[in-house]
Amino acid sequence: MHRLLLLSSLWLLAAPPASSIFQRPTGSPAPPHLQYLLEPLHTTVHTQRGATATLPCVLRALPRNYRVKWSKLEPANYRESIIIITNGLYHKNYGPLSPRVRLRHSHRYDASLTITDVALEDEGRYRCQLVNGLEDESVSLTLHLEGVVFPYQPSNGRYKFNYHEAKRACEQQDSRLATYQQLYKAWMEGLDWCNAGWILDGTVHYPIINSREPCGGRLLLPGVRTYGARDKQKDRFDAFCFTSALQGSQVYFIRGHLNFKEAGQACRNHGAAIAKVGQLYSAWKFSQLDRCDGGWLADGSVRYPITTPRERCGGLPDPGVRSFGFPSKELRTYGTYCFVGK
């Protein structure tokens, strides 16, 4: 660890003056509080699950005895988790992201962070901080995955999850608890759901487009309504899960009159696995999967995705993933949806 603090005097002596490198475009002066770090041109980096993404952080000059620290804001526990620390010569990785992160280091002023095989939990806010005694400064960036939010409840009915159970349930369905920003965006895009559910920061909400009596009354305006922070152990609600497309994956339907066990075997016979709820939502959202056929999923539910609403496919006016609930697993009525990963 002591090597992490060593600096190359030759490197520092060779650094040109700040005015001679990385000139900003005319009319775009650096904010006065940033002496060494360049303000990024774009503070949001868009990516896909399974891809490689780089969060930019570039120095205009190399101060003496400096370090650069990358960290991620964790909304579930209101803290920042250190990812990597470097002094330009040496670096050390920390935490669960450690195997999948590296410094891009395309030149000696480049402290940009590269994340490989981007996962759902990688989305969020990151901070690149220059640690330089009394002159610390930082830039914040957001890693954004295009995704879809869906409400989820177990086979035994609504309002059965405490926070930790809701978190596990989403993870078991190839998703994670949604953030407030993700839920709000889903509401703006039309998500209308009367049951309250947990989100990642431990608060509980429900999104309403059409105000109605069973959902707070007709007089309340549409919006994301909130119960605020709740007891993560004792209080019980549904979950709002977030998932995203996975590069190179596919969901497809096998027709048949299968019980649940036979549905799983049918997928395995094709070298696939029975699809999870999050995988079906992802295929509906990003691959425009559209079928009128109910099919088994891994949690024992039966659902079907509709991108073009029509009378004989549920009759509802809006696109969505329809559900038949959790029928008896012995019932031989449905086909199955299968998932093939990359």
Of the three residues 243, 270, 300, the one that is the final residue of a domain is 243
Q: Is residue 295 part of a domain?
A: yes
d(CA 258, CA 280): 18
| pLDDT score recorded for residue 218 | 83
| Token pair in block for residue 134 | 């009394």
Token pair, residue 131, equals 């640690």
Q: State how many domains the chain has.
A: 3
Q: What angle do CA 200, 306, 323 make, to 5 degrees?
A: 60
CATH number, domain containing residue 86: 2.60.40.10
Classify residue 303: in a domain, yes or no: yes
Do 167 and 133 share a domain, yes or no? no
In a domain, 12, yes or no: no
Give Cβ neighbours of residue 278 (< 8 Å, ≥ 6 apart): 150, 170, 173, 174, 175, 241, 243
State whether 250 and 331 are in the same domain. Answer: yes
**Whole-number Å distance between alpha carbons of 158 and 15:** 62
Is 31 part of a structural domain of the chain? no
Cα–Cα separations (whole angstroms), residue 117 to 135, 146, 342? 34, 15, 12
Q: Do both 232 and 214 map to the same domain?
A: yes
Same-domain status, 335 and 278: yes
Question: Do the domain assignments include residue 7?
Answer: no
CA-CA distance, 7 to 173, in Å (whole number)? 47
Residues 271 and 202 both lie in one domain:
no
Statement to judge: residues 259 and 311 lie in one domain: yes
Q: pLDDT value at position 5?
A: 32
User: What is the domain range of residue 270?
Assistant: 246-340
| Pair (257, 329) in one structural domain | yes
pLDDT of res. 12: 27
Q: Pick the last residue of a domain from 196, 226, 243.
A: 243
Are 292 and 304 within one domain?
Answer: yes
Q: Do 203 and 177 form a contact (C-beta atoms < 8 A)?
A: no
251 in the same domain as 196:
no
Question: Average pLDDT of each block of 10 consecutive residues along the chain (342 residues)?
Answer: 32 29 41 80 93 95 90 82 92 94 94 96 94 84 96 96 98 96 95 96 95 86 94 98 90 97 98 98 96 97 96 89 97 97 78
Q: What's the confidence (pLDDT) of residue 17?
A: 31
Phi first, then psi: what are they for 213, rounded to 5°? -60, -45
Helices (H), the chain: 9-14, 163-172, 180-188, 260-269, 277-286
Within-domain flag for 24? no
Domain boundary among 145, 174, 190: 145
- Contact at 8 Å (CB) between 338 and 269? no
Q: Do both 265 and 224 map to the same domain?
A: no
> 291-317 burial by CB neighbour count: b if 16+ within 10 A, else e?
bebbbbbbbbbbbbbbeeeeeebeeee
147 beta partners = 244
119 shares a domain with 106: yes
Q: What is the CATH number of the domain that holds 166?
A: 3.10.100.10
| 230 & 252 share domain | no
Q: Determine the Cα–Cα distance for residues 328 and 310; give it in Å rounded to an integer.
A: 27
